[in-house]
Amino acid sequence: MIHFESGFFSLIIMQATIKYNHKSYLINLEEPIDISIRLKDGSDNLTAWYCPPPRIEAVMTEYFTGDVNLGGPVNFRDVYFNPHGHGTHTECVGHISTERYNVNECIREYNMPAYLLSIEPELQENGDDIIMPAQIAKFIFAVKELKVLIIRTLPNHLSKISKQYSNSNPPYMHPDAMRLIVQAGIEHLMIDTPSVDKEEDGGALECHHIFWNYPQYPRTACSITELIYVPELVKDGFYWLQLGIANFENDAAPSRPLLYKIIYIND
């Protein structure tokens, strides 16, 4: 933190120098970029995987009213939602494994440098939009020695934050593109689609299996975060990631990834 004072004003500039993997990163903490999608009550909320809309309802019993506007002492609401189907979430290998893995036991690193990459999936003859290996290969050099890759698909309409994805065959990733990502050393992948795999693939989930190397030698410390939204004005490039994950005992949990601008990197 840098603090300037004069007779006319006091200015505090929130910055931090973070040492990570033999490099120093000067981070601007003043303007976090939230790339999560807010969960809210009702049909205007994003949904996927045929989930009904989430519900946020006041607790109402014979003895208690959980709504101040209805005479209750406090607002006291139940929340009904699915982590995979109702917004930004981070998942671990437990999403596809027969063994029980919980995301907050698997993922123990929450602050890391990351690279944001925009890709327009290629339209195939069958109508599918797929992130192809060549589109990843062109940028592998940029993510060298990084653990986090953030993919923003194009076009990047604001409608993504309330889209009804079920039965829409959203864009997904070619298995060979995922192999390149794993070979590049990426341990935490973030994307603004409901899945890295095709919506209806007969349960194969090939890209999930490739990413976590399951069941051969599971990469249990690795995560996939889906249904993010990166604002249009945020440019591709390097950022500092702070990943907040709700402490659920489950294969996936709601998450709130924040990006911070990197002022400079000192090798």
Task: For residue 25, tell me if it sits in a domain.
Answer: no
Residue 199: what pLDDT? 98
Q: Quick check: is 154 in a domain?
A: yes
Q: Residues 129, 171: contact at Cβ < 8 Å?
A: yes
22 part of a folded domain: no
Q: Is the pLDDT of residue 114 over 80?
A: yes
- 50 found inside a domain: no
Is 260 part of any domain?
A: yes
pLDDT at 1 over 80: no
- Kindly give the pairing relationship between strand 111-119 and strand 188-191: unpaired
Residue 260 has pLDDT above 60, yes or no: yes
Q: Which of 129, 105, 143, 136 is nearest to 210 (CA)?
A: 136
**Span between the terminal Cα atoms of the chain, in Å:** 21
Output the pLDDT for position 6: 43
Does the structure show a pLDDT above 50 at 41? yes
- 112 in any annotated domain: yes
Residues sharing a CB contact under 8 Å with residue 91, sequence separation 6 or more, in sequence order: 83, 84, 103, 223, 224, 225, 226, 251, 252
> Which structural domain, as residue segments, surrounds residue 249?
33-39+83-266
φ/ψ of residue 183, rounded to 5: -65, -30
- Model confidence band, residue 12 (pLDDT cutoffs 50, 70, 90): low
Which CATH number characterizes residue 183's domain?
A: 3.50.30.50
- Structural domain contains residue 88: yes
Considering its fold, how many domains does the chain have in total? 1
Residue 267 has a pLDDT of: 79
Q: What is the pLDDT at residue 5?
A: 45
At 8, is the pLDDT very low, low, confident or very high (cuts 50, 70, 90)? very low
Question: Residue 126 pLDDT more than 50?
Answer: yes
- Band (pLDDT 50/70/90 cuts) for residue 85 is very high
Does residue 70 lie in a domain region?
no
For residue range 204-256, list pLDDT tens digits in order.
Answer: 999 999 999 999 999 999 999 999 999 999 999 999 999 999 999 999 999 99
